[in-house]
Structure 1
Amino acid sequence: MKEKIVFKYLVLLVLVSVDQAFSFQLIRGRPVGKHGLLGLPKTSESYVGDSLPKAQWFEQRLDHFDPVNTQTWKQRYFVNLNYFDRQSEAPIFLQLGGEGEADPIWLERGQIATNYAKHFKAGQVYLEHRYYGKSHPTVDMSTKNLQYLTSEQALQDAASFIEYFKKENNLPNNKWIVFGGSYSGSLAAWFRLKYPHLVSGAIASSAPVKAVLNFDTYLEVVDTSLGPKCVSNIRSAMNELEPLLDNENGWEILTKKFRLCDPLDGTNKDDVANFVSAVAGNFEGVVQYNKDNRKFEGAQAGNITIDVVCSTMTNVNGKSSIDRFAEVNSNLLDAYSQKCLDYKYENFIKQLREINFANGSMARQWTYQTCTEFGFFQSSDYPTQPFGNYFPIDFFVQQCIDIFGSKFNRKFIERSIEFTNNYYGGLNLTVSNVLFPNGLIDPWHALGVLHEINPSARPLIISGTAHCADMYPDSEDDPQSLKDARKKIKYAIGQFLQN
């Protein structure tokens, strides 16, 4: 069976199953495959199997905002009480799940476990997000059934769970701190905003709290992180690539150079957009997760960093710019053991129309949330970026329509984004006891809190780090800025618990 890798770089890195092979894919800015944005922390065989916390299940309401609807479902969660000092009424640390499967390895190897929980003798709980992983509120993911997939429902899930957990374990007075990264980082901040009586504070790592239709500034940060010399060589490569899109001989050349699974037809504008966004996504993904001490299931490309791809682009060594551009693409394909690049738009749409939980990749769920709540569409509309204007904002809006139906048009999405920002406050949210860590390499920091809201709700800017870097285990390669940031996070937790 031919192995394929499906690239549709809308906004996130995703692991999806295509022809029974794992693919590396950036879908609306999230690795929405098995484990979502966070991937997994690096681990060893000693943390496999019986040593990890076992799944537990909580009966959750399907629709918290309709008193007539009495339907319920089973939500999955994991608990680690190894450090917990019940006698001293130590705190409970709740990690909110995001757009991927919750994995209990975080309760053993994540920074919360190895640093903060150990220090504060805290109990740990990891709550899986509805519709992701094995937490299935409905029988399938039809568009009708996805109406219950919203951030508001997810927040009330967490609120109901906290009340249940306190009663079930006789912990009425213990304080709670909520944690999250990226989308779940936003959830953590919003949870403290909406339910301040339930949690004493929140650590909202790499949290894009402002919803936007056109997230074109994503590529602005990518360019800054790559540096002018690397970007100049990418622009030269695109100048060589663009004329090849105009004729059949050029299509054949590009098919071979970029190891495309199917011959390129330059008259199919959607395929061309997918193709160019794929090669742009090679750089987007590397920047977003640069040196972050993570591990994706099925992925082996953690050693491909900004330094590596830019060295490839700037080391001429007798190669043309487009050949070096194609070499970056091949290096990533090889790192993920992929034979070829599936750029076909129809394949992408077919994949995201899959409504069966067992056959889906979790990309459908996250795409639905971007089309109904957040936008976050990483377009090529930023004027000075080097990848041309092959994937403009209208390209992403059309995908919402092609996947979910004509209702999901631009006007619908814009209204949904307006509601999200009005409901939570966007960058002007009024909240207390929240710390917002953000890495300056990470393109998502452009939608995060970068200025102090008040003395207890403030940013933590971490130079030289990427997406959610503060949440991963310690590494000998961690920059001093990251080590210092983790000390500040620990201090902030202590302050939140004292208030």
Structure 2
Amino acid sequence: MRFYIYAFLCCVWWDVTFGARRIKLGLGEPNSPETRNAQPVVDYWFQQKLDHFNPTDKRTWKQRYQINQDFYKSGGPVFLMIGGEGKMSSKWINSGAWIEYAEEFNALCFQLEHRFYGDSHPTEDASTANLVYLSSEQALADLAEFIVGMKAKYNIPPESKWIAFGGSYPGSLAAWLRMKYPHLVHAAVSSSGPLLAKIDFYEYYKVVEDALSTYKPACVTQIKLANQMLNAIIKSGKEIKYINKKFKLCDPLDRNNKKDVSNLFESLADNFAEIVQYNKDNRKSNMTDTNAIITLETLCDIMTNESIVSPLEKYAAVNDRMLSSNNLTCTDYVYEKEVNILKNVSWESSAASSRQWTYQTCTEFGFYQTSNQDEHVFGNKNPVNFFTDMCVDVYGEKFNTDLLAKGVDRTNWMYGELNIKETRVVYVHGSVDPWHALGITRTKTVNTAAIYIVGTAHCANMYPSATTDLPQLTKARIAIKAFLSDWLTISDDLDSTNQETVRFDSK
């Protein structure tokens, strides 16, 4: 199975042979504007506490951050880009919509790498015992300590307003940071952030189905037929060699190994989910070679190609296209291989970040994208226990469904899920992005905004402006800038009484 991990915010998009591809979050690197002569990026290190909630623990570590002072003028705000579950990309310190806003508002810009990801290593390795210090709560405290530290180090005036930016998981962190530390953060832009922790995230594939159906209803019909045919072959035991060959499996399929079968179904479903979630999002990887761009239209055109008679043959053709685009020769799907790689505690492991992020899903969030109904488009081989079993298999017996349920409940009551109480946060979501199902797309609180962009995907508003942007995406970026302009004129102890829900579509 080909698992990919997508770094959640200002971080780089990466992939490994195995990883937590089933938890699809994050964004890619921005396409740097050719007209901007950015200064070389320097890494700096901030001494951070290991455990913010134990005053007797004096251990510290070095957290990586970067700074952009190109547009800063005295009296300007401070922008903070929050890192997510991947290595921090230097490209984001010089590019992206937030940098365009920084130029407009003369802002000083920082980006901070998330603990346990990239080069920010709080402990000697990523053992399960050490991962107890990995949580969203510790990450938020890191951000608070960082803000206080940067104010002192760079002599930032106390009246300067800090604005937090984040996309995907860091989009959630941006909103939570504003809620938990309002005296430090004046406002926040939360892009594609899931605020509702949920173990069984069955809505994910419903959004994927809707996006594919909107382009071509026949596409969904063919996908469903292909999965039914695949299931019938595996169930009967006949023509297994055909499946091995057609889907280029790295290892022969054992139809009696339920977890391998589930992994295979999940991998093939992810061929579509990956493309839908990031459809036409202007990532750097999608800007360099127009011939290599794969969209949901590309895959649906294959699935509705009448020159290929069998739906299963079409499904295999989509898999071929995805293998080729990722420079892979075969489909790796063996469950035990994945578990063994995720058990590697070394920082040098190719799946280091996926081990960390999987841990967070097993203890805080869930977010498992299930497909377990008999009539499900992508089959019924991925019930929630398929995902929760991996928590036990990777981290040990105590990481069971009971611990996860308590962790998810704690996340929701600690942050307020979709009833979060805060002000001066703009929530941005795209209709094609499945994660909007766990986010805020309508506001009910004073001085908070929700922007819903029809036709855009995950974190699309965060990338640099481009001539190819949909008109509604351009309007959304303008609206975000308008909210920032308004909020930057408001003092910390005052709030206006407006509330906004803005929907941008192609009309």
How has the CA–CA distance of structure 1 residues 302 and 214 changed in structure 2, closer, same or farther, with 3 Å as cutoff? Answer: farther
How has the CA–CA distance of structure 1 residues 378 and 249 changed in structure 2, closer, same or farther, with 3 Å as cutoff? Answer: same
Residue identity opposite 2:14 in structure 1: L
User: TM-score, structure 1 length as denominator?
Assistant: 0.92
How has the CA–CA distance of structure 1 residues 71 and 174 changed in structure 2, closer, same or farther, with 3 Å as cutoff? Answer: same
Q: How far does residue 250 in structure 1 lie from its aligned partner after superposition?
A: 2.2
How has the CA–CA distance of structure 1 residues 429 and 324 changed in structure 2, closer, same or farther, with 3 Å as cutoff? Answer: same
Whole-angstrom distance in 1 between the partners of 2:35 and 2:2: 33
C-alpha offsets along residues 251-299 of structure 1, whole Å, 9 cap, x if unaligned? 21111111111111111111000000000010110110000011359x9
Q: How far does residue 46 in structure 1 lie from its aligned partner after superposition?
A: 9.1
Whole-angstrom distance in 1 between the partners of 2:151 and 2:5: 42
Other structure's SS at 1:245 match: helix
How has the CA–CA distance of structure 1 residues 327 and 320 changed in structure 2, closer, same or farther, with 3 Å as cutoff? Answer: same
Matched, 1:121 2:106: yes
Q: How far does residue 43 in structure 1 lie from its aligned partner after superposition?
A: 3.7
Alignment of 1:38-437 (within 5 A): 38-43=27-32, 51-86=39-74, 89-113=75-99, 115-172=100-157, 173-227=159-213, 228-295=217-284, 303-361=293-351, 362-381=353-372, 384-437=375-428
How has the CA–CA distance of structure 1 residues 456 and 176 changed in structure 2, closer, same or farther, with 3 Å as cutoff? Answer: same
Contact 1:94 1:178 in 2 (8 A): yes
Residue identity opposite 1:69 in structure 2: D
Contact 1:437 1:459 in 2 (8 A): yes
Contact 1:247 1:266 in 2 (8 A): no
Runs of 5+ unmatched residues, structure 1: 31-36
The farther-off stretch of 65-74 and 251-260 is: 251-260
Residue identity opposite 2:65 in structure 1: Y
For the aligned residues, what is the CA RMSD?
Answer: 2.3
4+ runs deviating over 4 angstroms? 8-14, 44-48, 299-302
C-alpha offsets along residues 442-465 of structure 1, whole Å, 9 cap, x if unaligned? 000000002213232121000100
Q: How far does residue 388 in structure 1 lie from its aligned partner after superposition?
A: 1.2
Residue identity opposite 1:104 in structure 2: S
Whole-angstrom distance in 2 between the partners of 1:449 and 1:17: 31
Other structure's SS at 2:407 match: helix
Aligned-residue identity in percent: 42
Other structure's SS at 2:488 match: helix
Residue identity opposite 2:219 in structure 1: C
**Aligned match of 2:24:** 29
C-alpha offsets along residues 355-389 of structure 1, whole Å, 9 cap, x if unaligned? 00111420001000000000000111366531111
Q: How far does residue 8 in structure 1 lie from its aligned partner after superposition?
A: 7.6
Residue identity opposite 1:252 in structure 2: K
Residue identity opposite 2:342 in structure 1: L
User: TM-score, structure 2 length as denominator?
Assistant: 0.91
**Aligned match of 2:456:** 465
How has the CA–CA distance of structure 1 residues 491 and 383 changed in structure 2, closer, same or farther, with 3 Å as cutoff? Answer: farther
Q: How far does residue 241 in structure 1 lie from its aligned partner after superposition?
A: 1.4
Runs of 5+ unmatched residues, structure 2: 491-507
How has the CA–CA distance of structure 1 residues 143 and 129 changed in structure 2, closer, same or farther, with 3 Å as cutoff? Answer: same
Whole-angstrom distance in 2 between the partners of 1:450 and 1:6: 32
Residue identity opposite 2:58 in structure 1: T
Alignment size in residue pairs? 481
The farther-off stretch of 415-424 and 249-258 is: 249-258
Contact 1:91 1:174 in 2 (8 A): yes
Contact 2:191 2:459 in 1 (8 A): yes
Whole-angstrom distance in 2 between the partners of 1:325 and 1:10: 24
Other structure's SS at 2:348 match: coil
C-alpha offsets along residues 134-181 of structure 1, whole Å, 9 cap, x if unaligned? 000000000000000000100010000001101111112211100000
